[in-house]
Structures are given as structure tokens and as C-alpha cells.
A and B are shown apart, each in its own frame.
Chain A
Amino acid sequence: MANKLNLENWVCPLPLKNYPTVVMGHGSGGKMMNDLIQHLFLPAYNNKSLNQMGDSAVLNLSGLGEGAGRLAFSTDSFVVSPLFFPGGNIGELAVHGTVNDLAMVGAKPLFLSVGYILEEGLPMETLGKITESLANACELAGVQMVTGDTKVVHKGQGDGIYINTSGIGLIPGNIDIGPTLAKVGDAVIVNGTMGDHGMAVLSVREGFEFESVIESDTAALNGLVDTILEVTKDVHCLRDATRGGMVAALNEIANSSNIGIEFDEDLVPVNPAVHSACEFLGLDPFYVANEGKMIVIVPEEQAGSVIEVMRQHPLGKNAVQIGRIVEDHPKMVLAKTGIGGMRIVDWPTGELLPRIC
């Protein structure tokens, strides 16, 4: 990336240095806002569409792949607290969230927008670090940040920074992935340990000091999805297991596809530190948020080769089949328990944890 910011010892580029914190003027639409855009956002996200600074980004879709017939479009807002947590920060989360939403329909994510809502008094250094993370995450995920917006709210009316990202991706013509497409007999696969992100965020909140550091799993899953699609185009559903964790994702699929899902509790990978922390706090890791985990539903006969290729990818090392789609009890998810019983694994109810994504 050209003009890459060095935020290691972040020195605010002129004329931002006169403002160690965000002030209302940075959202005013005037000179100060222009300074912020020119000296922070443009260098960070540097690309042709953005640099034209139009009211809209004008995107050239030609030459983006054969058979690319359909657009995928998604949006997500990020209000995580704290802004920085082990394994990531709100910036990369904001890219991964939208990139993953696009990847879950088999789209190749291409362009993102970013909307910042900044609270007056936010240290400029913090904004710089977060923007740097957004930019890095875009680069790693192979997407461009092509348009954006900034608003500033009065002190006390926000929580430092809120970020919205929207994204556009292209779905190749021979791909048809969606939550309604799970079929009886399909295999249910996950790409790794459950509950890491939620517990990482919780662990750094006031009052929780776990002995071992739990790191968020925040990651862009489009690369892993690409490797799966190289093996087979016959993928029925993909779902990232974010808020509500794996259980919410499975229940969404069961409902949308009008099928039942059964999985074996003992087969679901859970990081031992996450397991301990969950036991300690009375939480179920299957309900805890992830930011780099997904449910993959493919025909049973494809499961072996899909898992094999997933395991070769850094984000799928612990990929495993945890269950399957069944005809019985449509719209319900059941788990085989450790002692051989069965239980209903219902939707999470309200959120008792402080917000985590």
C-alpha cells in the first residue's frame, strides 16, 4: 500500500497534529473534516475509486471473472467495547464482519464502504491505529475501501468510535449457496474452535483476569471459502457463527431450510482456556460469539475432501464434521450430549453479556 502510515510510533500528519483528539469540527463537512480525509483516510485506504472523491464510488466490474453474474451486498455495524482486545480491534473486526457476510454466499468480496461515528474527544492516535487496522485487513482480504463517511457526536453520546461497513462482492455463476439450501443427509462442518472472540472480549473487560490470554479469532474467511470452492462447487450453506455463536447459526439454517440438525457435543472443538473461562462464568461456548468461524454444509460424500482442504488452510486447521442434517424435528437443533443423552439446543434468548461485537 502506498503512503502506508507508520503507527508504531504514530506521529499525526500535519495538520492533524494540532488536534490530539477528535473534536466536533472533524465531522463538520468543512476544512477540518477534509484534513482528516486527506491526511488519514485517503493515505490509509489509497485506491483509484476512493481517490476520485466523488459522492459515490464508481466501480468498474468488467474483467472480474468469468460467469460473474450476481452481486452480493451486505452491511454490518460495529460497536464493540473495548475497542482493542487480545487478537484484534474494532477496525479489523469491521472489515472481517462484512467480508465474511459476503463470503458466506460464495461471493468474492471486492469493495467496501466505511462509515465512522466518532465521539468528540477520541484520541487521534486511536483513530489512526484503528484506521490502519481497517486498511491492513482490507489488504489481507483482497478488498478495496472505496467510499466512506465521517460523523462526530458530542462527548458522552458515543463510545469512542462506532464503525459501519458495507460491502459488494461478485458471485460466480456456478455457485448457489444460501441458508435455505441445506438438504437431509448433508454434513455439518465447522472450521475450528468455538467461542474465542466472545471470551477474548469478555476477558479484558473490567473485573475479569484470566490466567491465560484468550485471543479473538477475528479473520476474513473469504480465502478459506475459496479453497473449499476449488474442491467442490456443491456447497449448500455457509454461515459465520458470530453473535449467538454456533447455536444461533445452526438454528438459522434449520429454520431457513426447514430441516433438523443433529450434532455431537464432544466433536465441537473448543479451546481449553475458553472452555475453562466459560465453565467459570456459567456460559456455554456454543452460544459465544466468533469472528472467524463458520458452519459449512455440504453433501455427505463431499465432506471428506472439503475437510481435508480446509485443514490445509491456516483458518481451517481444526476443521471437523460435527453432525448432519436430518429429516426429523424440522427447524430444531439437537445435540448428542457427552453422556449419550440428547438435548435441544435452542436459540439464545436475550443477550446477557455486555455487547461483544
Chain B
Amino acid sequence: MKYLDEYRDKEKTELLIEQIEKKVTRPWSLMEICGGQTHSIMKSGLDQLLPPEINLIHGPGCPVCVTPLELIDKAISLASMPEIIFCSYGDMLRVPGSVGNLFSVRAAGGDVRIIYSPLDALRIAKNNPEKEVIFFGIGFETTAPANAMAVFQAKTQGVENFSILVSHVTVPPAIRAILESPEVNVDGFLAAGHVCAVMGYWEYEPIAKKYQTPIVVTGFEPVDLARGILNCIQLLEEGKIGVENAYPRYVQQQGNLEAQKLIKSVFEICDRKWRGIGNIPMSGYRLNEDYEKFDAERKFSGIQEIQTNESSVCISGEILQGIKKPDECSEFGSRCTPEFPIGATMVSDEGACAAYFRYGRMKLSRTNF
């Protein structure tokens, strides 16, 4: 498939790995921010091909994983109400709340639908004027423009039976929180290419400078990832600090200005809880005053009051910050599996624990066919 196969090319990847091997002189810990990158690394087996000096730490960039338990409980409450159609991306249905998940709401007769775009939820709202349609608006800056567009269109078209349960989070405050944590030891970051396609990478420049840590905008295919790692290692080995763009085919420094404008017109910045990590100030979006009637938390009574504490067993917070690896958890692969996840990092295919479980559960020996 064009635009994909060339970035999964074996020879190109090998060439980049050779360059990494030549460049690296000491151990480095790099954090890939995004769960999509973690998934791709594990699925392609890129981690096994890298020199042992390079330690990849899997970052907090999986929206399913960082959506707090409290929001899941709110989603379950909303979806259980009568005359509601609750729309969500598929992965969110399996995320365990305090009691049950969205699948169990559906099994109990709730109308919970899997959709692939928030605009589909808006269409469902228009087709079902007698019902209230709620979309579970999760994600980073990547999904924010589409979610903003759905709300913007709902307002413009006067669709009053549509609202979203917003759980948006943003990357730069998370990077800052990770770099300020005394336990975390990250030498360089691979920033998430799609987030930067929307937001650009100007926001990262002051962070790189302040914390003296290089940040490289990186894509998702093996060749993209190898290139991002190479750039980051080059910066580290040469003692340079700064932000580099290893994903220029999609990302420009200023980002997508139209998308940013839309986000700004619909959302405002707020504090946000991250599952397993806790509250990070100014790390999320919520609907601003002009759009508050589309905010499901404010529209339906009793939802804002729901408060939940996280499980004490799950170490997903430490995993999301790169303090521990999934297989260092006592529950990993025994009590906690993708089928029966305890924590959210085991739920999504992009979650570090699920990716570890699926693709790297055992030490693989090279086998020739």
C-alpha cells in the first residue's frame, strides 16, 4: 500500500538501525510518547533489532489508558440512563470502571454504540431526535479537532439532543510532569507525530530548553520510528539539546492552524486527572462557555458529583511514566490480561501492558525460516 509499505521497508529500517549502532556509545533511555508508537514497536519487533544500549520507555500517550476511572464511571452512569444512545470508540467499551464496563451496560439493555467518528454520533443524534445522544470524547490533541467539529456542527445546525463527555488531555503538560518527577529517568523523547501534525512542535521548544532534554517529532511506522530514534541518539551523543522533526512529511513547526483555531473556539484549557498518575494542572480541554450546553457532564444531573479512587493494585501510573515496565508488575499476565484487565494499560491495543502481553510476552530467540 502506497505511503505505508515504503515506511515498513526492511532494508530502509536495517540501514537506519546500522546508523544507530554506529552512533551509540553509551546507554540511553528514550520515551516514545504515544501508544500508537508503542504498538508499532512491539508489533514490528523493532525493539529486538535495536542495539542493547537503547532502552525504550513507553509513555503515557494512550488516551484509553489515561482516561481516569472517574470518567469511565461517569460514562457508565450516562449510558445506563433511559432514552440515551451512548456512542464511543470501540476500545473504551472494555475499560473497567469501578463496577463493570460499557459492555456490561450494553448487555443490561443500554444502547451503547461503537462508532469511528464523532460526526457519526452527530448523525445518529439527527436521526433520533427523541433520544439523547452522547459521544465519549476522549483523546489527545489528535482527536480534538474532530470532536470540536462535531460540537461546532451541532451548535450551527441546532442539534440539541447531542452532547459529549469530554476527557481530552494534552501532551506538553504530561512531558513536563514526567520530567519533573524525581523517579523518572528519560534522556530524550520521541514526540507523537500526529499530535504535532495538529499542534506543531513550537510548544516543545521551551520544554526541551528548560529541561535540557531533546525531543524528536516521530512517526509511527518502523522506518519513521528508527529515524526518530536515530535523530534523538545523534542529539544526545553530540550533546545537543533541541527539537527536531523526523516526520516532515506530515508535520510542520506551526502545525495545522485551522485545526488549532477550531480547538480554541470550542475548548478551553482545564486541569485534568490522568489515570494512574493523578491530577496534572492545565493538562486537558473542556468545552468553553459558548458550548457548555453540549457538555454531558453539565447537561445531565448527578454526573459531575461522581468521584472515584483508583485501584491500589495496578501500577499503570508508574508504567505510564516509565518508572516500571509492564512485566515488572506482579499481576502482569496472571491476574491482569487483555481478557480480564485490571488497569487500563492492559485494555487498549495501544496500552503498554497489552502491547507487551500480545507481542513480547517471552524473550524471543531469533529463528530462521
Contact = CB atoms under 8 A, between A and B. Distances in A.
Contacts of A329: 362
Given A336-B369, A344-B358, A349-B338, A279 B44 contact: no
B94 interface: yes
Most buried by B among A208, A341, A343, A349: A341
B296 to A, nearest CB: 22
Interface string B115-134: 11100100000000000000
Contacts of A352: 90-91, 93-94, 114
Contact of A339 (B1, B10, B42, B103): B10
B8 to A, nearest CB: 5
B365 A328 contact: yes
B290 interface: no
Interface residues of B, number: 40
A275 interface: yes
A110 interface: no
Given A329-B362, A339-B222, A346-B358, A279 B1 contact: yes
B361 interface: yes
B293 to A, nearest CB: 26
A340 interface: yes
Interface residues of A, number: 32
B91 A342 contact: no
Contact of B48 (A276, A328, A342): A342
A272 interface: yes
Interface in A309-357: 323-324, 326, 328-329, 332, 334, 336-344, 346, 349-350, 352-354
Contacts of B4: 279
A277 B48 CA distance: 29
A240 interface: no
Contacts of B54: none
B360 interface: yes
B364 interface: yes
A262 interface: yes
Given A207-B115, A346-B357, A341 B48 contact: yes
Contact of B1 (A275, A344, A353): A275
Contacts of A282: 349
Most buried by B among A332, A352, A353: A352
A337 B116 contact: no
A338 B1 contact: no
A272 B14 contact: no
B10 A338 contact: yes
Interface of B: 1, 4, 8-10, 13-14, 42-49, 90-91, 93-94, 103, 114-117, 120, 222, 338-339, 349, 357-362, 364-367, 369
16 contacts: A207-B116, A207-B120, A328-B365, A328-B367, A337-B43, A337-B44, A337-B45, A339-B10, A339-B13, A339-B49, A340-B10, A342-B48, A342-B367, A343-B44, A343-B364, A350-B103
